[in-house]
Amino acid sequence: MPGRVKKRSPLKAPDRPYIALGLEGSANKLGAGIIKHSTDGSTLVLSNVRHTYITPAGEGFLPRDTAQHHREWALTVINDALNKAGVSLHDIDCICYTKGPGMGAPLVSVALVARTLSLLYNKPLVGVNHCVGHIEMGRQVTGAQNPVVLYVSGGNTQVIAYSQQCYRIFGETLDIAVGNCLDRFARVINLSNDPSPGYNIEQEAKKGKRLLPLPYTTKGMDISLSGILTSTEAYTYDKRFRPTGPSAEDGEDIITPQDLCFSLQETVFAMLVEITERAMAHIGSKEVLIVGGVGCNERLQEMMGVMAKERGGNVFATDERFCIDNGIMIAQAGLLSFRMGHETPLLKSTCTQR
Amino acid sequence: MATQAASPTIALIEHAEKISQGAEAKIYRVQLHPAGSSNDASPVATEHILLKYRFHKQYRHPTLDASLTKSRVAGEARALLKCVRSGVNVPGIRMVDAPEGVLGIEWIDGKSVRFLLGGGAEGEEGEEGEVDDDSTEDTAETEEDPLQEFSITQDSVMELIGTEIAKMHQADVIHGDLTTSNMMLRLEDKAVDLYVLERAFSSTHPQSEPLFAGVLRAYEKKMGKEWPAISRRLDDGESRSTARPSGTALMLCVSETARS
Amino acid sequence: MQTFRYDHLPTEISTVHVALYTDVENSAALRSRIVRASQLEGAEGDAEREAVNFAFIEARLICSVLHLQTAVYQALLAQAQGALRTKTVHSEILWALNPTNNITEAIRRYGVADASKSLIVVRIGSPDLEQGDVNEQMHKVVEGTLAPLDELSDITDWASIKKYYKLNGEAAVKAAAKDPAREQAIVNEIVTSSVAMKSVMG
């Protein structure tokens, strides 16, 4: 459990400038970012480039096709990042890549690129945990000191806090991730995947008026989301459901896709805020940091802000540049790790889906 | 205090002593039934109760908040009643105001297992200051073991916990939020007094059981209505272990009701 | 007679007068008077209803003062929230005491019966209602002996209570079968808790 004394960081200020390249591809975003740590202790994002594999409405992304997308775009995205940063690969101190968790095939395809560059330019590799990448970048951007972290994305739903030298998971989903839940419902009502299904759900939810009852399942600091997805989907088979909005002869008692997006968000986010608050109460923290793709959602940020304020604290969130998977967060976490003396030898530069 | 238009239960809370605040609920101590003014010889004594107030969460949609609060109060009350009926040591229910999110239960005099095992008091409102990592160990004070007050060993407490949870599960009640903060060790001074005397008898006057039984008979007669409760705790203790005082009973509290 | 003041409740129901009558002689007449009062019309009806404006409770079915207070309190809450399930706050006490939702059964079991020997009489009102006046009113309708509330323990019919609450097979009760005092303490706890949570019994 966190103590009460602010501790000095074990990481010394750099004796010279350090530059790192970060490569991310654990899901459908391919990202390359370049970060610089200067001797005055400052951190500078030199570039942060991303290309997203967007599938047609109603379809999700499959591992094989996603890996294919990353292979096709790897060189373009990396070159773009180098050009925008105005550096060459020779100037780089280390190459950081996402070790996991994530989808196997896309992870491996990006790790292969990282290994190749490492051998070609004789640069050390640093494998980075995707979640830690999100958290470290979130801390860097927001200045949050020791927050409870809500990590919400297509593949992850976790409440994390730093305790006894480790990021520890205090609570998580017992079945599907919140982003997965939202994305899958977006598919059910045929919302576009551009720019992202979650973004489109958020826009639809703003037009929703009616809160429909949905299962609310929190267990201690864990939550369950598969039941709520099923129930929300079930409303689309309800007699009162109007997929294209109300018609002239409809009365008050109808259900629109907007109502469902609204109800889904209100219920799922309330559950997320609740378990986050429990973790904050448990460890005695007043700060909360939201990271991961779903963290862009302004309604979630708003609800979390109300909760944090009631507790006399603050919510920290980042915008889509850092919330959504990106290369710069991998560069940031990897470079911190590198400066602490960590490297990933070639033989150990594997990936893990979990 | 402005009680204008406030519901009766909220007005009651305004006069109650606040004990603690968790993420989900605020805990108060209050006398629900005031002592009566009377023309009887002996006015009725009145007990304290614990109020668990699931306050409104501003971040939640009001409709969702209301239905959730109501169903949680109802769920907790039903689980408690099931436990009471099945002989699990839980506080009795004293009042329910589900629309306001308030559950009133029997006040338990005791200490949380969390406190007794040196986990510190349930302190949310304390000075937190800058929260950071790993300075936990130095807060462990080297004062005397809080368990000594109960003259009970750590092992016996573990045994009590296991037994109570088993009883609860046999009643098909799932707690959902079992923590050491939600378990209280109840200290019943009167029963402990008797226990200490019983021990003194058996150690200094071997084979003195019949003698002590005589003490108990007279005690029971004189104590009248107070006896059943004391007897229950005395028996609770003796049936399980001779190594701990009979006055100690573990109470399972349903989520966040425990105090320091 | 005892009087309890609940200062946090609306004034018109903040005062509760409770009396225990033993050796009641006129239970049958009292019961029919209550029934008739509910049917009379006009000024005469109002006067008669006011005369019997009490909760008459079968005292042998009450485990303890706490049990009674718990039922009264839940009735007061229902009245304050406009959530009465029966006609008056007094009849609501009988509803609260009965383990089921059946109002007729509640009145038959927990109200005054022709054979009732002991009654608890409750009057809820504002603080303006003096204990002495209530006492006098009660004496006009109940022919019996006013007894201290703690004599309740001599009257309680534990067998009937266990039957109504279906407690004979209950684990907690069976475990204490050999010790009547302990068994009564357990029955009292179960019954009191049941009354307290009846509004959410589900």
For A295-320, write each residue's pLDDT tens digit: 999 999 999 999 999 999 999 999 99
Q: How far is CA A189 from CA A152, A204, A209, A211, B96, in A?
A: 22, 11, 17, 17, 42
Mean pLDDT of A56-71: 94
Cβ contacts of B59 on chain A, cutoff 8 Å: 270, 273, 303-304, 306-307, 310
| pLDDT reported for residue A17 | 97
B127 to chain C, minimum CA–CA distance in Å?
33
CB A217 within 8 A of CB A78: no
With respect to residue A256, please indicate whether it lies within any of the assigned structural domains.
yes
CATH of the domain at A61: 3.30.420.40
CB burial string B65-99: b at 16+ within 10 A, e below = beebbbebbbebbbbbbebbbbbbbbbbbbbbbbb
C186·B87 Cβ contact <8 A: yes
With respect to residue A343, please indicate whether it lies within any of the assigned structural domains.
yes
User: Over the stretch B17-71, which tens digit does the pLDDT of each residue have?
Assistant: 999 888 889 999 999 998 777 665 555 567 899 999 999 999 999 999 999 999 9
Asked whether residue B153 carries a pLDDT value surpassing 60, the answer given is: yes
Asked whether residue C102 carries a pLDDT value surpassing 90, the answer given is: yes
B128·A284 Cβ contact <8 A: yes
Residue A122 and residue A64 share a domain: yes
Chain A residues with CB within 8 Å of chain B CB? 1-7, 145-146, 162-165, 211, 213, 216, 219-220, 266-267, 270, 273-274, 277-278, 280-287, 303-304, 306-307, 310
Residue A307 and residue A344 share a domain: no
| pLDDT reported for residue B228 | 76
| pLDDT reported for residue B22 | 82
Mean pLDDT of A137-149: 93
Asked whether residue A328 carries a pLDDT value surpassing 80, the answer given is: yes
Residue A172 and residue A306 share a domain: yes
Which range scores top for mean pLDDT: B142-151, C24-33, C180-189? C24-33
pTM (2 d.p.): 0.82
| pLDDT reported for residue C172 | 87
Residue A284 and residue A218 share a domain: yes
Surface-to-core class of residue C132, CB atoms within 10 Å of its CB (0-12 exposed, 13-18 middle, 19+ buried): exposed
User: How confident is residue B240, by pLDDT bands cut at 50, 70 and 90?
Assistant: very low
Which is higher by pLDDT, B152 or A305? A305
Q: Across chain B, which distance is largest between two alpha carbons, in Å?
A: 68
CA distance A39 to A15: 6
B133 to chain C, minimum CA–CA distance in Å?
44
8-state DSSP, A3: B
Asked whether residue C8 carries a pLDDT value surpassing 90, the answer given is: yes
| pLDDT reported for residue A222 | 93
Q: What are the residue ranges spanned by the domains of chain C?
A: 2-200
**Which residue segment(s) compose the domain that A59 sits in?**
18-136+324-348
| pLDDT reported for residue B152 | 73
Residue A41 and residue A102 share a domain: yes
Sheet holding B248-252, edge to edge: B110-112, B183-187, B248-252
Task: Name the B residues in 95-114 with CB < 8 Å from any C CB.
Answer: 95-99, 104
With respect to residue A59, please indicate whether it lies within any of the assigned structural domains.
yes
Residue A123 and residue A40 share a domain: yes
Residue A261 and residue A165 share a domain: yes
CB A217 within 8 A of CB A81: no
* Residue linked to tokens 């003062």: C65
Asked whether residue A6 carries a pLDDT value surpassing 80, the answer given is: no
Mean pLDDT of C93-104: 96
With respect to residue A2, please indicate whether it lies within any of the assigned structural domains.
no
User: How confident is residue A43, by pLDDT bands cut at 50, 70 and 90?
Assistant: very high
> Going from the N-terminus, what domains does chain B have, and what CATH number goes with each?
8-36+47-107 (3.30.200.20), 109-121+146-260 (no CATH)
Residue A310 and residue A220 share a domain: yes
Asked whether residue B111 carries a pLDDT value surpassing 70, the answer given is: yes
User: Over the stretch A229-265, which tens digit does the pLDDT of each residue have?
Assistant: 999 999 999 999 999 988 888 888 999 999 999 999 9
Provide the CATH topology of domain C2-200.
PF0523-like (3.30.2380)
Residue A180 and residue A61 share a domain: no
Strand ranges in B107-212 using DSSP code E only, listed in sequence order: 110-112, 183-187
Q: SS3 of B86, please?
A: helix
DSSP assignment of A41-80, as one string? S-EEEEEEEEEE-PPPTT----HHHHHHHHHHHHHHHHHH
Tell me whether C197 touches chain B (CB under 8 Å): yes
Instruction: Please report, rounded to a whole number, the percentage of residues in chain A having pLDDT higher than 70.
Output: 98
| List of chains touching A (3+ CB pairs within 8 A) | B
User: How confident is residue A46, by pLDDT bands cut at 50, 70 and 90?
Assistant: very high
The alpha carbon torsion through B194, B200, B206, B208 (nearest 10 deg) reads: -30
A286·B63 Cβ contact <8 A: no
CB C105 within 8 A of CB C91: no
Residue A152 and residue A118 share a domain: no
| pLDDT reported for residue B44 | 59
Asked whether residue B128 carries a pLDDT value surpassing 70, the answer given is: no
Please give the single-letter amino acid code of residue A111: A
CB burial string A301-334: b at 16+ within 10 A, e below = bebbbebbeebebbbbbbeebbbbbbbbbbbbbb
Asked whether residue A267 carries a pLDDT value surpassing 50, the answer given is: yes
B59·A1 Cβ contact <8 A: no
Pick the range with the lowest mean pLDDT from A25-29, A144-148, B116-120: B116-120
Instruction: Please report, rounded to a whole number, the percentage of residues in chain C having pLDDT higher than 90.
Output: 91
Q: Choose among B22, B133, B139: nearest Cβ to A7.
A: B133
User: How confident is residue C171, by pLDDT bands cut at 50, 70 and 90?
Assistant: confident
| pLDDT reported for residue A25 | 96
User: Over the stretch C114-160, which tens digit does the pLDDT of each residue have?
Assistant: 999 999 999 999 999 999 999 999 999 999 999 999 899 999 999 99
Catalytic residue among B109, B155, B177, B193: B177
With respect to residue A13, please indicate whether it lies within any of the assigned structural domains.
no
Tell me whether B94 touches chain C (CB under 8 Å): yes
Mean pLDDT of B213-232: 82
Q: Measure CA A162 to chain center.
A: 18
User: How confident is residue A5, by pLDDT bands cut at 50, 70 and 90?
Assistant: very low
CA atoms within 13 A on the CB side of B2: 2
Interface probe with B: pick from C146, C184, C191, C197, most Cβ of B within 10 Å: C197
| pLDDT reported for residue B249 | 62
CA distance A126 to A21: 10
User: Over the stretch A190-214, which tens digit does the pLDDT of each residue have?
Assistant: 999 999 999 999 999 999 999 999 9
| pLDDT reported for residue B134 | 40
User: How confident is residue B120, by pLDDT bands cut at 50, 70 and 90?
Assistant: low
Among A286, A142, A143, smallest CA distance to B131 is for A286
C114 to chain B, minimum CA–CA distance in Å?
28
Cβ contacts of B7 on chain C, cutoff 8 Å: 80-81
CB A300 within 8 A of CB A152: yes
Our answer on whether B and A touch (3+ beta-carbon pairs < 8 Å) is: yes
Residue B193 is a catalytic residue: no
Considering chain C, what is the average pLDDT of its residues? Answer: 95
Among B61, B91, B55, smallest CA distance to B76 is for B91
Domain count, chain A: 2
